[in-house]
Copies of this chain bind each other. A is one copy, B any other.
Amino acid sequence: MNDNQDLTKRRTSIGAQRNPASQEAILQAATEILAERGPGSFSIEAVAKRAKAGKPTIYRWWPNKAALLLDAYHRQKNPNLHTDTGDLQRDLTWFLTELLAFWRRGGCGAIFRSVIAEAQTDQAACEALAAYLAERRKHLGAQIRAAQARENIGAEVNPELVAEMLSGFAWIRLLTNRLEIDEEEAGKVVKTILDGIRGRG
């Protein structure tokens, strides 16, 4: 067996298993570099160097920069955005207010902004972002669906479309760096949507 074959074999085996310690070291390095240098100067090369990992290893586990950035984003201390008080207006206002507050804190918003930026020039990154958004939409949609009967929301309402309207508002605020929102304004956005989907009479 020559060295090349040996290497290929080892690589395939590592790729299939994902060594948790290396993975953690890579994500930790990515998070540190993001905090120190900002997303504009973030590179796989710098992550590889700091984590003492090979670039091929990183690319085997994260096919593109956006996928690695998304995982680093998930590692941030995420507040509980989804509450269930039995009052959808209150739960969604909480969601919107807390999401924007989370993005304002310690670079979390900066990481997500760079994921979105990355997705605009890289097709695979865009698909990763769309898949992430679909999952978020499902989660928030389920919360709205659960309240559908209880809060007189019409059966024809598509909860995922409603969830996307709320996310779109959060994104446009993030992307134009206007994350300051008070509960009153957040409440108005949510109320507009909820009054729109609640049955009348």
Contacts and interface: CB of A to CB of B under 8 A. Distances in A.
Interface of A: 38-40, 113-114, 116-122, 126, 129-130, 133, 157-158, 161-162, 164-165, 167-173, 175-178, 185, 188-189, 191-197, 200
22 contacts: A39-B121, A113-B120, A114-B121, A116-B116, A117-B121, A120-B175, A129-B175, A130-B178, A157-B192, A165-B168, A165-B189, A168-B168, A168-B170, A168-B172, A168-B173, A171-B175, A172-B172, A192-B193, A192-B196, A194-B196, A195-B195, A195-B197
Q: Quickly give the copy total for this chain.
A: 2
Nearest to A170: B168
A40 B125 CA distance: 13
B176 A130 contact: yes
